[in-house]
């Protein structure tokens, strides 16, 4: 374990890692079964589940910013660069 990371930072990073995995799994379900397909519980669609998982991940990003683990300004700058790159190389836009 890296001793340069305190316990609270480590926990926040570990939870963020888990949330990233949950977002990836929710996206996989959307690919396999469709965005509007209901999950086996019959209570929410894959789209709703994806939104919930992304919300959890956004919350963890905010916690990482609040704890000073990452910089909101640097995240925003990186996000803007990604959008510009996607505009050039992707059909997303």
Q: Nearest to residue 69, comparing CAs of 6, 18, 23, 22?
A: 6
Of residues 92 and 41, which shows the higher confidence score? 92
Residue 78 pLDDT > 90: yes
> Global pTM?
0.89
Burial of 43: CB neighbours in 10 Å, binned 0-12, 13-18, 19+: exposed
Residue 88 pLDDT > 70: yes
Q: Quick check: 32 and 52 in contact, CB under 8 A? A: no
Give the total residue count for the chain.
93
pLDDT tens-digit readout, 14-35 = 999 999 999 999 999 999 999 9
């Amino acid at each position: 374990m890296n001793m340069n990371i305190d316990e609270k930072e480590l926990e926040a990073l570990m939870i963020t890692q888990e949330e990233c995995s949950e977002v990836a799994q929710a996206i996989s379900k959307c690919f396999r079964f469709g965005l509007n397909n209901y999950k086996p519980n019959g209570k929410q669609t894959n789209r709703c589940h994806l939104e919930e998982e992304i919300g959890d991940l956004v919350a963890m990003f905010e916690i990482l910013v609040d704890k000073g683990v990452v910089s909101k300004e640097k995240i925003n700058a990186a996000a803007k660069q990604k959008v510009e790159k996607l505009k050039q190389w992707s059909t997303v836009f």
